[in-house]
Structure 1
C-alpha cells in the first residue's frame, strides 16, 4: 500500500532541500524522489505555486548552450519551512503514539 504525500509535506520537502542549496527543476525532482514517490508532472506545479506564493524565487544560468532555471528559497520560504517542521513534529508524534512506533 502506498500513502500519498500530502501537499504540505511535499512543500516542506522541496523547501528543506532548497534551504541547503539552489537547484534547477530536474535536479530538485531527483533529490525529492530519493525521499518520496513523486512524478515530474507533480513537481513543476508545486514549484510554480511556491514561487507564486513568495516562498521561492528563480534565476537563470547558462549550461551547455541551454538555460537552466534555478529555484532559491526566500525568507518567506524559510518561515513557511519552520511552520511545516513544527506542524510535522506535532502530527508525527500523534500518529506514532496511535500506531505504536
Structure 2
C-alpha cells in the first residue's frame, strides 16, 4: 500500500484481530501485512506495549512440537478498541468527506 501506517493504527488492527480470536505474533503480522509493510521486529514492541497497558494478556501453547505465545484481548483492551473504532469512524468520515467534496475548510 502507498499510504503510511501509524503505530496507533497498528495497535487498532492488532486489537481488532485478537478480538476475533486469540493469535500469535507471526499470524498477526501476516494479516497486518495486507495493508502495511511491517516487520516482526516492529510488531513485537507494539504487542509488548499493548500487554503492558493491560489491553492484552499472553499464554503459551504447544503447536507441532513448538511453543507459541498467544495474545488474548482483555476487557480493558475491548474498551480501548471501542474507543479506537469510534475515532476511526470519525477519521474515515472526515477523509471521505474531503475526498468527495462534502467537507471544506471555510476561508474566513
* Fold shared per TM-score above 0.5: yes
Q: Contact (CA 8 Å) 2:23, 2:70: kept in 1 or not?
A: yes
Does residue 6 of structure 1 match 2:6? yes
| Counterparts of 2:95 and 2:64, CA distance in 1 | 47
Q: Rg: which structure is higher?
A: 2
| Counterparts of 2:87 and 2:52, CA distance in 1 | 22
More helix by share: 1
Does residue 55 of structure 1 match 2:55? yes
- Corresponding position of 2:64: 64
RMSD: 1.6
| Counterparts of 1:20 and 1:95, CA distance in 2 | 27
Q: Contact (CA 8 Å) 2:4, 2:36: kept in 1 or not?
A: no
Q: Matched residue pairs, number? A: 101
Higher mean displacement: 24-33 or 75-84: 24-33
Q: Contact (CA 8 Å) 2:51, 2:57: kept in 1 or not?
A: yes
| Counterparts of 1:37 and 1:95, CA distance in 2 | 22
- Corresponding position of 1:93: 93
Shift of 1:62: 1.4
Q: TM-score, normalised by structure 1?
A: 0.90
Q: TM-score, normalised by structure 2?
A: 0.85
Name the SS for the 2:62 alignment partner.
strand
